[in-house]
Amino acid sequence: MQKTRWAILGPGAIAESFATWLPSSEHGELRAVASRDAERASAFAARYGAGVSGTYAEVLARDDIDAVYVATVHTTHAELAIAALEAGKAVLCEKPLAPSAAETERVLEAAERAGLPAVEAYKHRFSPLARAVDRRLKWGQVAAPLHVHAQFGFAAGSRDGRLFDPQLAGGAIFDVGGYPVSFAVSAAASAGIALPELHLANPHGRIEAGVDVYSSASVEADGFTAFVECSIDTQLTKRADIVGDGGWITLENAFGDRDLSPNVLSHIHEGQRRRIEVAQVHPFAAEADAVSRALRDGRLESRAMPWEQTRTVSRLLDAWHAGVMEAQA
């Protein structure tokens, strides 16, 4: 399989991690870096061995780029992803794919028109641990009715920057709320719950300077409930639990970090507790390889993060954010 030639759009902190770990992928290599700031793009490209730098338009116009990693602020994800797809590039986009369900749909429609993959980069979804949880749910070792509890939060400290800027889709829900929601949606899908039936209930949040700094909600369907929490001003765990008929799955660290995927689950089935360890991967390398495989196979989506789940997560985040903000109005 030929190497996938990557460009990074937006040389920020998260892009540093992608550039660091892309050489560990099986099929990817960094060719170009793009930014609104030409000097910043050039410095980043030099630091990570990319031979080309330039503006977004200049890099997207090149015919020696196969795929782009969109690592800009949330409010520019859809615009840049669509531009890349229309320029004939596959897209790996940092979560959320867009900060609204309507924009998410625009990106997926552009990918369908272009016949190219568009993949949302929730890093935990590309790990062997995610596949291990999926198998146990599909095998019925933990069966409906299911209850999920998942949380992700950190204390940001400084109130400067995009996290606390409502004009840049700041706040906990759009920054980290997608992790527990994505986990819940994946669990529901693996257990055979119809994703269109999932709906959001009981949104609650704490608002500061126009953004949610802590939020919680329920995700519900017949035979399924989830309680999800997120924060950018309070340290929460990365724990996720799935409780159902016949068993219990616990992940003390469900989401890992930028360097390594999580790799341990505890599974209680038929009264027996097992501690299961799986291989670890570098999440950014795994995401890049998922796009490469989709390109090779002519698929528009990654098996790890299929479009139906991307749409569902986006719809639920939309409802969660709207519910929290309306409650505070």
Whole-model pTM: value is 0.97
Residue pLDDT, tens place only, 292-325: 999 999 999 999 999 999 999 999 999 999 999 9
Which residues does 185 contact at the CB level (< 8 Å), separation at least 6?
195, 198, 219, 309, 312, 313, 316
Which residue type is seen at 310? T
Domain 124-281+310-328 has CATH 1.20.1740.10: no
Q: With the CA atoms of 56, 57, 60 and 61 taken in that order, what torsion angle do they form, in degrees rounded to the nearest 10?
A: -160
Residue 96 preceded by cis peptide, ω within 30: yes
Residue with more model confidence, 1 or 282: 282
pLDDT the model gives residue 237: 96
Mean pLDDT for 119-124 is: 98
Closest CA to 180 of 208, 209, 217: 217
> Which of 13-17, 65-69, 179-183, 269-273 shows the lowest mean pLDDT across its residues?
269-273
Q: Quickly state the pLDDT bin for 1 (edges 50, 70, 90).
A: confident
Closest CA to 285 of 2, 6, 1: 6
Which residues does 82 contact at the CB level (< 8 Å), separation at least 6?
106, 107, 110
Place of tokens 């929290």: 324
Strands (E) located in 209-252 = 211-221, 224-231, 240-245, 247-251
Residue 329 has pLDDT above 80, yes or no: no
Instruction: Kindly write down the DSSP assignment for every residue of 23-66, as one continuous string.
Output: GGSSSEEEEEEE-SSHHHHHHHHHHHT-SEEE-HHHHHT-SS--
Look at the domain 4-122+286-305 and name its fold.
Answer: Rossmann fold (3.40.50)
Across all residues in the chain, what is the average pLDDT?
Answer: 97
pLDDT the model gives residue 217: 99
Rounded percentage of the chain residues whose pLDDT exceeds 90: 95
Mean pLDDT for 21-37 is: 98
Distance CA 150, CA 119 (A): 23
pLDDT the model gives residue 104: 99
pLDDT the model gives residue 172: 98
Domain residue ranges in the chain = 4-122+286-305, 124-281+310-328
What stretch of H or E contains 291?
helix 283-297
pLDDT the model gives residue 157: 81
- Decide: helix, strand or coil at residue 118: strand
Residue 91 has pLDDT above 70, yes or no: yes
Which residue type is seen at 302? S
pLDDT the model gives residue 200: 98
